[in-house]
Structure 1
Amino acid sequence: MEEELFLFAPDETPPKSDGQLPPWKVLSVEDDATYQASLSHALNGYMVKSRPIEMLTAPSATAAAELLATEDDLSVVLLDVVMEDDDAGLRLIDTIRQVLGDNALRIVLLTGQPGMAPFNDVMKRYDIDEYWNKADLSSEKLRTVVASNIRTWNAYNELDKARRGLNLLVEASKQLSRVTNIEDFCRILLNEIGQLIGMTRGGIICARSGNDASLDDLQIVSSAGVFALDNHDGAPMLKQFPDELQTLLKPLLTRAITDKQHHFSDRFSVLYFDTDKNKAHRYIIIVESEAPLSQYHINLLQVFSENVHNGFNNIVLCNRLSELAYFDPQLHIPNRAWLTRHLDNLPASERYHSVLVALNIKEFEELVLSVASPFLDGFLQQFHRKLQQRFRSQRVIARVSGSCFIVLLDSADLPSTSMMARLNHFKIVTDNIQLHAEVNVALMPLCELTAISGRELLHMMDSTLLQSQREHQLLTHYHPQYLSSILERHQLMQGLNNAIEQGRLVLMFQPKVRLSDGQVVGLEALARWRETDGSYISPAKFVPVAEMSGLINKLDLHVLHLTVSAIKQLLKAGFPMPISFNVTSSDLDDLFFMDELDSICSKEPQLLQWLEIEITESQTMQDYQHVKPLLQNLINKGIKVSIDDFGTGYSSLQHVTKLSATHLKIDKSFIDALAEEWGGEPIVDLVVRLGKRFHYAVIAEGIENASQVQALKALGCEFGQGYWFAKPMELPALLTYLTHITKGTDGHQK
């Protein structure tokens, strides 16, 4: 090898080591015992970076391989090229690099035969760091070569250790990020700290207390190693240590809490954390290690502590979010989301023996409007206590809506029939005021519903309660047909939406006639759902579904467009007459519906005189003060307004002098009762007189025979519609009908 341009200056001989720093391990593989001894002698007592060299020797490549497999932290190998055979040294190098996977170990080849020097490609292939001829290697140069390679190995090793430490930090942080409760968080935290510092013996314990609590209030959250407890359950931390250890730890704990910082000593380290959220809790982690932590481990812990601090804050945030998501804010009891999740996680065997009891407070909305918030809170708290008293064996009581509570209990603990009957009435005393709360109760055994999701279970319970309210039943039992009814309504809803989109929702038209001469004076448009096979689905089935599902506005908007189209075709055919179609009060509040109607008014004002809407009396009177100006606005634009089913409710009589309407339609039930002695005649007579007195056109619905026509004419009713004149028909048939009657027919169908 060429003469080196420079050599590393040897390390200055430092003061004698205090024995705390471990030696550098150098391995000499040499079959010449004399030369082996000279190498050991040259390096004996030599210090590199204040650490001595420990010389290990092996007489052959085979012996060296065995030693390499058991020794850690070898930094340099001085390797004779030729030993038991010519390529023994190269095979050993291959073992180091390929089998043991050690790419950091520095390999220096030595040979006493210049002709045995390896080629450059061999040096690269086997990752050999240096090559020296034994004859050229003086003691001084040997020390320089070994020192330089130790420095290189140490730098590489520190980088690798930093990389591995970073990987440990990343993995430890990942583990912590997956946890949302404090006990699991602390347990994983202690395990990860043990991994970071390579703890093989010793212990870690985590405790918490309030921010202003004393050391004696620190309660154990988790423990590991020699501190591990089978059941800590919030035990006081300091009492788990013997008195002498308490004496040692108290000053360290006090400093950490006072400074709010980590503190490291020879044997114990104290890590301090608090939470940003009001600093309600502080956490203390005590780490006992067999030997003092190195600066490397301290650095790792300090970096990791940043993630731990964030983790504690995330736990607090998650707990708060969980509280908001799963607990009622007024009563701090489980809510609908909590109960849904609980039912989903309930084993099928346990669910089989469970029952849900729902209690819905009647007229709760009126109570909310009539009392102050503190009073309402007190009322709800008292109601919840009453439920706890009446269901002492309950598993959980959840508030699933403002007025509804659900109790989950074992079917064996279900109260008796007599006790269930008393659940409909509660006496609640709040602020010395006694209230009587009436309650609808629904009962749902889960024995046949083990495969239904929690969300669907609560949905079916809602349906059961709604059924009890509609039927005015105080106690309702869930029946399996409720589920089939829900599925049927859902299928109807989907089918109706598809029918609208695909143009299978069509209009049929029923004529309105003048009773005196049978002349057709108008038409009512009736929506019909035509199936692909030509059959029709009754509006009595799909209209209620449309109203419940929110499809009614889309349905009525579609009917509006079809009605306008029919008016145009009738005008073109020479039959100018108004067409009425049904709307709901929700249509009048629907922006899309009203915008479309306004657009028609502005773009085609000539059609307005032929456009008429019908709205039921019940919907008009439901919120009359709100609906009245909306209807009047339509009348002002030239659109006629009919009050359908007039007379079925008497609430409209007080407003009859100022109804926002142009027509009143007498309900079919009164027309059917005309032949009865004390039937519909008085009502029909009253409505006809009111119409004449206040200038409303009056139309009788559902006329089916000639006697009804004669009775209506005798009472002075001018207009009517029904099967006696014509059944509803589609537009082509209507045009044929209108053409036919204009040529002199008797004006009715039989």
Structure 2
Amino acid sequence: MGTDELLFAPEEEEQLSEAPWKVLIVDDDREVHSFTRLALHDFTFERKPIHFISAYSAAEATEILKEHDDIAIILLDVVMESETAGLDLVETIRYHLDNTTIRIIIRTGQPGIAPERYVIDHYDINDYKEKTELTTDRLYTTIRSALSQYKQIVELLNKKNEIYATLITDTLTGLGNRVKLNYDLDTEMPMSLVLLNIDAFSMINDVYGFEVGDQMLLQFGKILRESSCTECTIYRLEADIFAILTSQKEIQDIQKEVLRIQSAITKHLFLINGIDHRVNVTMGVVEHEIGNMIQKAEIALREARKMSRNRVQVYSDNLAVIKQIKENTKWTKWLKDALDNNKLIAYYQPIVDCGSGEIVKYEALVRLEHDGVIYTPFHFLSTARYAGLLYQITQRVFEQACARFSTTALDFSVNITDQDLIEHGFIEFIEQTRKHYGIESGRIYFEILEDSSILTNPIAEKHLNELITLGYRLCLDDFGVQCSNFAQLGNLDLDIVKIDGIYIKDIDVNKKSRIVTESILFFTHKIGVKTVAEFVHSAQVYDIVKAMGIDYAQGYFLGEPKPDLI
């Protein structure tokens, strides 16, 4: 074959892909439609041809746009059934049909009615051409440029949708996640929400492994889809917590629906790797409400779990957990106010030597003053633990006690908690405060509870040993009601054991209390540890504890806690 023959050999016909670009021509002049189709009859972009759709009025175009959401370009005349018909259609496309991807090219024969600068400034269009300037070549260039823009916008939009789908979808089950649930709850319509927690699911993971756990979660999600109403939406929020959301109109009796779903789950046999499993679920339900739905359902679920497993709890404002949250919120505020304004006050209760009847030491006890009322730790101690304020309270009480006893020779004791003992600066604070007030370490007793978290925490154990090495005294408080492990008495270098008041307050009438107290005394005498009887509230009780050989006594009969020493 010669060179000329090679140069002019017929080219292979290009294979066009499917799904052509849709271009909508909107013009009341039929010749404009014919010219456009003829000028671009062999046009291709990205191996795709153009499919033309014609509309001869803005109203007709609106109906076409409602049916076709994938039109790439609209070639739009301005003056049709009215002088602003085309511009009005632009507003409809962008703001009523909410279509921001379609490329709008104004093609007008009457630029005086719709001047280019005005239209560009006031309408969301992408190009402006006068019909007289739009030759075949210019039309080709305009369409190609617009299609390139459209393609980029669609790709970006698809990527955005892909990212959004990932954001709102649980990767394991393919269900909506917490983000999706929050989005679906953003409505003024009353909804019903159910949270489902698989009972003892962590045990399945521990015993059979995460792969079996994942398979169970997949099957669980499938059961929820199959057993829930067709209008319900299913979500997996986290770990083994799922959710079902429905509107008020779809289910009139949500509780019956919940029990039906619970029954379906209970009866289902999970077959995984040849092993049969059955599960129960605990459920929190919010019925036909608006606002804070997830929080309310979680509160109901928490209340249900406090009661038992395999339980359904419907949310109401009277749930115990709601009251507890309100109480915690109130006391947290009051505690922080007391810390900021020196309203945490140390009160002192005397401890009497049963042999001499003399006051030999005091216990420093915290009180909170709010609006002129004094509150005992019974009201705020659990909140202080929850809010992480125990160490600050201990610091205030210890410093006040050191200041008070710097002017006397009496010993004193201060309660410390597991949270105090794991603070890295605890020993340094104690030593600095004691030295500042000139108090010998041997005069200070630290009372600890017989709590497993203290006795098993290596940091707490290290700090206890440091206190003992520095010469401080150690007292085990409320012995007999916590772990009640006599072996711990031998493991700790104790100076005193305080027998819990539950055995002392009725020791004059309760034989069992006397027996328990005698057992504690027998053991403490053997290991050389002194004892204190708490809750001594009457002369009869005081006489009994003295007769039994208890070393010290403490209680309202001998002296109430006061801000000053007796």
Query: So what's the TM-score if we normalise by structure 2?
Result: 0.67
| Contact 2:194-2:286 at 8 Å conserved across structures | yes
Equivalent residue number for residue 508 of structure 2: 675
Structure 1 residue aligned with 2:279, among 404, 425, 437?
Answer: 437
- Report the CA distance shift for 1:297/1:229 in structure 2 as closer, same or farther (over 3 A): closer
The secondary structure found in structure 2 opposite 1:631 is: helix
Equivalent residue number for residue 500 of structure 1: 339
> Is 1:701 the counterpart of 2:538 in the alignment?
no
| Contact 2:479-2:499 at 8 Å conserved across structures | yes
Equivalent residue number for residue 469 of structure 1: 305
Equivalent residue number for residue 374 of structure 2: 536
Amino acid at match of 1:415: K
Equivalent residue number for residue 554 of structure 2: 721
Equivalent residue number for residue 406 of structure 2: 571
- Report the CA distance shift for 1:681/1:230 in structure 2 as closer, same or farther (over 3 A): same
Structure 2 residue aligned with 1:490, among 329, 333, 353?
Answer: 329
Q: Quote the Cα distance in structure 2 between the aligned partners of 1:655 and 1:696.
A: 13
Q: Quote the Cα distance in structure 2 between the aligned partners of 1:571 and 1:602.
A: 10
- Report the CA distance shift for 1:705/1:497 in structure 2 as closer, same or farther (over 3 A): same
Q: Quote the Cα distance in structure 1 between the aligned partners of 2:265 and 2:435.
A: 56
- Report the CA distance shift for 1:611/1:394 in structure 2 as closer, same or farther (over 3 A): farther
CA shift for structure 1 position 723: 0.8
- Deviation sequence 1:132-152 (CA, Å, 0-9, x none): xxxxxxxxxxxxxxxxxxxxx
Q: Quote the Cα distance in structure 2 between the aligned partners of 1:625 and 1:393.
A: 55
Amino acid at match of 2:159: V
Structure 2 residue aligned with 1:557, among 382, 386, 392?
Answer: 392
CA shift for structure 1 position 506: 1.4
The secondary structure found in structure 2 opposite 1:481 is: coil
CA shift for structure 1 position 336: 3.0
CA shift for structure 1 position 377: 0.9
CA shift for structure 1 position 227: 12
Q: How does 1:6-155 map to 2 (within 5 A)?
A: none
- Deviation sequence 1:172-223 (CA, Å, 0-9, x none): xxxxxxxxxxxxxxxxx9999x9xxxxx9779xxxxxxxxxx999xxxxxxx
**Relative contact order: is structure 1 or structure 2 higher (C-alpha 8 Å, sep ≥ 6)?**
2
Equivalent residue number for residue 378 of structure 1: 215
CA shift for structure 1 position 542: 1.9
CA shift for structure 1 position 648: 1.4
The secondary structure found in structure 1 opposite 2:537 is: coil
> Is 1:414 the counterpart of 2:255 in the alignment?
yes
The secondary structure found in structure 1 opposite 2:244 is: strand
Equivalent residue number for residue 41 of structure 2: none
Gaps of 5+ in 2: 1-20, 27-31, 38-46, 50-59, 72-133
- Report the CA distance shift for 1:478/1:565 in structure 2 as closer, same or farther (over 3 A): same
Rg: which structure is higher? 1
- Deviation sequence 1:600-655 (CA, Å, 0-9, x none): 57878955334433333245478566754443343334333333322113463454
Q: How does 1:315-354 map to 2 (within 5 A)?
A: 316=159, 319-320=162-163, 323-324=166-167, 326-343=168-185, 345-348=186-189, 350-351=190-191, 354=192
- Deviation sequence 1:105-136 (CA, Å, 0-9, x none): xxxxxxxxxxxxxxxxxxxxxxxxxxxxxxxx
- Report the CA distance shift for 1:620/1:373 in structure 2 as closer, same or farther (over 3 A): closer
Amino acid at match of 1:414: Q
Q: Quote the Cα distance in structure 2 between the aligned partners of 1:593 and 1:425.
A: 51
The secondary structure found in structure 2 opposite 1:657 is: helix
| Contact 1:497-1:551 at 8 Å conserved across structures | no
- Report the CA distance shift for 1:558/1:625 in structure 2 as closer, same or farther (over 3 A): closer
Q: Quote the Cα distance in structure 2 between the aligned partners of 1:367 and 1:622.
A: 31
Equivalent residue number for residue 581 of structure 1: 415
Structure 1 residue aligned with 2:232, among 395, 398, 402?
Answer: 395
- Report the CA distance shift for 1:571/1:597 in structure 2 as closer, same or farther (over 3 A): closer
Amino acid at match of 2:449: T
Q: Quote the Cα distance in structure 1 between the aligned partners of 2:156 and 2:428.
A: 51
The secondary structure found in structure 2 opposite 1:487 is: helix
Structure 2 residue aligned with 1:634, among 448, 467, 470?
Answer: 467
- Report the CA distance shift for 1:518/1:320 in structure 2 as closer, same or farther (over 3 A): farther
Q: How does 1:235-314 map to 2 (within 5 A)?
A: 291-293=136-138, 297=142, 301=146, 304=149, 309=152, 312-313=155-156
- Report the CA distance shift for 1:459/1:660 in structure 2 as closer, same or farther (over 3 A): farther
The secondary structure found in structure 1 opposite 2:536 is: coil
| Contact 1:631-1:661 at 8 Å conserved across structures | no
- Report the CA distance shift for 1:301/1:232 in structure 2 as closer, same or farther (over 3 A): closer
- Deviation sequence 1:21-45 (CA, Å, 0-9, x none): xxxxxxxxxxxxxxxxxxxxxxxxx
| Contact 1:632-1:661 at 8 Å conserved across structures | no
Q: How does 1:169-184 map to 2 (within 5 A)?
A: none
The secondary structure found in structure 2 opposite 1:717 is: coil
The secondary structure found in structure 2 opposite 1:437 is: coil
CA shift for structure 1 position 543: 1.9
- Report the CA distance shift for 1:689/1:416 in structure 2 as closer, same or farther (over 3 A): farther
Count residues in correspondence: 450
CA shift for structure 1 position 501: 0.8
Query: So what's the TM-score if we normalise by structure 1?
Result: 0.52
> Is 1:478 the counterpart of 2:315 in the alignment?
yes
CA shift for structure 1 position 718: 1.4
- Deviation sequence 1:307-339 (CA, Å, 0-9, x none): x64873575256436634x33343332333332
- Report the CA distance shift for 1:581/1:437 in structure 2 as closer, same or farther (over 3 A): same
The secondary structure found in structure 2 opposite 1:400 is: strand
- Deviation sequence 1:352-410 (CA, Å, 0-9, x none): xx2x3333334444444444221221122233334344434562233334343332243
Equivalent residue number for residue 119 of structure 2: none
- Deviation sequence 1:655-697 (CA, Å, 0-9, x none): 4431465433222212234234443122222222232333433
CA shift for structure 1 position 729: 0.9
Q: Quote the Cα distance in structure 2 between the aligned partners of 1:413 and 1:476.
A: 12
- Deviation sequence 1:239-267 (CA, Å, 0-9, x none): xxxxxxxxxxxxxxxxxxxxxxxxxxxxx
The secondary structure found in structure 2 opposite 1:684 is: helix
The secondary structure found in structure 1 opposite 2:535 is: coil
> Is 1:684 the counterpart of 2:517 in the alignment?
yes
Amino acid at match of 1:358: L
CA shift for structure 1 position 530: 0.6
Amino acid at match of 1:576: L
Q: Quote the Cα distance in structure 1 between the aligned partners of 2:201 and 2:466.
A: 35
Q: Quote the Cα distance in structure 1 between the aligned partners of 2:419 and 2:395.
A: 15
Equivalent residue number for residue 355 of structure 2: 516
- Deviation sequence 1:148-177 (CA, Å, 0-9, x none): xxxxxxxxxxxxxxxxxxxxxxxxxxxxxx
- Report the CA distance shift for 1:568/1:601 in structure 2 as closer, same or farther (over 3 A): closer
